[in-house]
Amino acid sequence: MSSSGVESLWGRGTRVFEAVEIDGNGESNGRHVVLKDTWIESDRMREGNTLALLHAEANDEDRQLVEKFFLSTVCHGDVWTEFDLLDDTANALMRGLSISPDHDSLFKRNPYSQSPEPPHKIHYRIVFKEKGIPLARMKSLPDVMTIFIEIVSGAF
């Protein structure tokens, strides 16, 4: 559905796929879902946990708004490799090694980062029930502008 997040060297490498849910026997149950695959900073709260908190903390009136304006999570979690190793930049990719100070100038860091070190990232996936349309694929400029107006104004 979208892979624009992988174009930047310094981004999160986010890709969004349409997928089909399968049952315990590996058979398709026909229900289409959306899988978001991304690399996030290790200390960042997971999107699925944030959405669960929004639902849990909302009163009856707010719960209706949360259900209307946020996607429904099917499942989410950090990705683990076949060797029972968390898929992350520090251990899975670098295998616990670090770049020595006399070689770190060979690696250009994100010029927008406030940190002198590249952030430790973890591979994370979240699955949603609803399927949207990326803004870049919308064909109607008035529809795009309506979405932007609703975002900025909080219109319901």
Residue 75 CB partners (closer than 8 Å, separation 6+): 48, 126, 127
End-to-end Cα spacing for the chain = 26
pLDDT for 144-154, tens place per residue? 998 888 878 76
Measure the CA–CA gap between 72 and 56, rounded to whole angstroms. Answer: 13
- Read off the DSSP letter of residue 88: B
pLDDT for 102-123, tens place per residue? 655 555 555 555 555 677 899 9
Ordered by start, the domain boundaries in the chain are 4-153
Buried b (16+ CB within 10 A) or exposed e, 35-47: bbbbbbeeeeeeb
Query: Taking residues 54-64, what's their average pLDDT?
Result: 90
Give the pTM: 0.74
